[in-house]
Structure 1
Amino acid sequence: MTQIIKLNTPDQTMKLGQKLAQLLQPQDLILLDGDLGAGKTTFTKGLASGLGITRPVKSPTFTIVREYQTGRLPLYHMDVYRLEDGGGEELGLEEYINGDGVVVIEWSEFVAAELPDEFLRIKFERNDENGDNSRVATLTAQGSHYEKLLAELGEV
């Protein structure tokens, strides 16, 4: 199941994250794909806000994992770009995925071999012909749980 959403501002990208956060439960896995500056971290800021996390959300590019424990659910935000040669196992990815929170992974193709079969993938693409902030988000559900989640998300 796939849903395509047009986002015209960073605020709309954050609102998509906030709305999705209301539907999430422990062990949900969200994969974020897209070029640099496509909106992955902006979306995650909205997701964190929707979970009730008040700490500023920053890209985990250099730390690989940022943990936010103060919301309705813990949020584990990962940027695995630097694990280009593998290393999800060393990161303890399985423990995060099977843990008590929501896992968001940017650049998931670099840990594809360690991922479970079910997840929600969101691909952000720039739509520069409609302005600097215009994006298209393609949400793809893998597995019945995520298909249900995407159906509940409905129109944004």
Structure 2
Amino acid sequence: MGKTETIKERAVYAYLPSVEMKEQWTKYAEEMGTSLSKFVMECVREYIDEREDSAFVKRGELVHETGKLRERVRTLSEDLEARNALIARLEEEIRRYRAQIFSDKEFQGIRTYDKRLIEALKAGTIISDDNLLAELGAEPRDPDAVKSIAGQLEGLRSYGLVERTPKGWRWKG
């Protein structure tokens, strides 16, 4: 049997929803330099190859995977939030500890100055008390933090590294 004898057995008829769609498909086929029949055949073959390819993922699998990923993001976000809260509490504890060292007049030992305080003072400009507190992330209503910073400034002043001016503190270094 030749090709012409099996033509009816191999034929597939497709009715498109509109004339415009048929014209669009014909235009695409012409752009590819092929007939409408070959264009449709190539599109169907490409679709089938994708379905048979192991990398092709079904929509249901994608929805399931997306749900799992969203749950993972939620869990990680909660974990991050808890860790950030813990970090904030620990930083506050460190601030209180440092404040205690500088506010205790009878403390003997090595006092560690806040690196951010030194950097803020060394910036080259006069810095007011309020700006200094803000730079260090200290609350003006927190007496321990204010005492700590005042103690550090007083220690630096006694070594001749800073001086108090009417507008604030200046690094002399």
Q: TM-score, normalised by structure 1?
A: 0.27
Structure number with the higher helix fraction is 2
Larger radius of gyration: 2
Q: TM-score, normalised by structure 2?
A: 0.25
Structure with bigger RCO (C-alpha 8 Å, 6+ apart) = 1
Structure number with the higher strand fraction is 1
